[in-house]
Structure 1
């Protein structure tokens, strides 16, 4: 073998070693990637990379929504923590030791906050939301599609999960939850079975969508699988859509302020 050939072989080996090194030290782009690289990684905050920058994200490495770990958290709010503030544009409700975030005073319709996916390609969304009711909120019997909180994805606002707020815990009236015993309320196809519904009064010990404290007629609403966690699995269909949380009510004296949410993708 010529000297030139030996040099070429050495350069080729060096290039291969460099490629291996670069691959092993490249920052992960999602918590799922970390879980796949290091299956014993604990839950916690990790440094991730997207196409243009790096950022810190909380990774849940345990089973969540009946799916193995590797979940990247896109959204988190816990208003029991006095250091946390409402998202921009939301109003703060405070009473009886409860803090929650809802629409602006005298605002009709919806208010929303978006959470970027940081270009993570995901096929599952898992999370939970806790809120309250204010005024005579009517679940699906209003001038708009729903009253409560909606989790959507992308600019077309494809519904991921809906959190409906009913007017009363008993009875089967049109402004109560469609999951109530004897209810004849029809659920729009865009919502389907992907919803939780509960009724309550603002700032009581009975927050909404936690699977607890339902009245007798509303008991089926507290017994749905998974509650308080929602889960959408899109199978082989992946997306990088941003997630949006919307709080909606038809009139300016109605609201469904939220006190807690966390949303993960994988």
Structure 2
């Protein structure tokens, strides 16, 4: 795709909105080169009819090519800067550095490196000094074996209550350091039954009857999605990658997960921050047991800031 660069040597065209919300042009001549703008939001403000696509933005390390979504996302008008994108449905795409490839049929996903204990694998997404106050994104993952969301009895309360540790079977999205919570995407063990017939401890916090709601970490609050990909109705799980039901898409929820699939904005998460920041974002895939017991590899993500 051709990058669109707004650099004019003589005349600068500014787009403004008239009272009916349409764009009109205001032309002002300038003998100097117009400097590159530093965010997609700035481009959208100046040229409100700018299409979605790649643009050259200015940064401290020089011009950078960035994908801008100029359409409405997460209930907010365009001008979103994309920090990260992965689509493992593309056969030419590779897992991020440090992630391990899962492949089952046509499904390819990226999870933790082999481990006999709880662990996380991390990816940092830099905003290149772009100031933002909102984060909008979506992630698609798959359940492997016996994921138990944010159960506190297996990994221990220490790791359970520590945002820097493997507090979730799923995906943790944070910003900056010390880490500040943005969103958590969890994978429960069953979607339509209780483990071992009567034990609901390992199901999603939003799942019917789950006690995890009462032990949900305070730093998560309501900023999470949770789903299980295990369709079993006999209280069992298999040590397989459940590819028939992708996670966090709001579809295919079992009889116990109607509340989980009714979460606002699914499959998109949206976090409004208290103040603008230039913090990097960090996406981690975590599990509180070894990878032979559980994992939540991801096959797709796109994350924007504004």
- TM norm. shorter chain > 0.5: yes
Among 246, 252, 258, the alignment partner of 1:219 is 258
Counterparts of 1:68-107 in structure 2, within 5 Å, are 68-106=77-115
SS at match of 1:69: coil
Counterparts of 1:204-215 in structure 2, within 5 Å, are 204-215=243-254
Q: Does 1:168 align with 2:176?
A: no
Residue deviations 1:173-215, cap 9 Å, x none?
1110010122221211110000000011424221000000000
Among 273, 277, 281, the alignment partner of 1:243 is 281
SS at match of 1:159: strand
Q: What is the aligned partner in structure 2 of residue 181 from structure 1?
A: 208
Paired residues in the alignment total 246
Name the Cα RMSD after superposition: 1.5
Give yes or no for contact 1:171–1:180 (8 Å, CA) kept in 2.
Answer: no
Tell me the distance in 1 between the aligned counterparts of 2:264 and 2:289. Answer: 32
Normalising by structure 1, we get a TM-score of 0.89
SS at match of 2:276: coil
Give yes or no for contact 1:95–1:203 (8 Å, CA) kept in 2.
Answer: no
Larger radius of gyration: 1
Tell me the distance in 1 between the aligned counterparts of 2:204 and 2:61. Answer: 45
Normalising by structure 2, we get a TM-score of 0.78
Give yes or no for contact 2:229–2:244 (8 Å, CA) kept in 1.
Answer: no
Long gaps (5+) in structure 2: 1-28, 160-166, 195-199, 231-240
Tell me the distance in 2 between the aligned counterparts of 1:203 and 1:140. Answer: 19
Shift of 1:146: 1.6
Long gaps (5+) in structure 1: 1-18
More helix by share: 1
Among 163, 171, 180, the alignment partner of 1:149 is 171
Counterparts of 1:50-65 in structure 2, within 5 Å, are 50-65=59-74
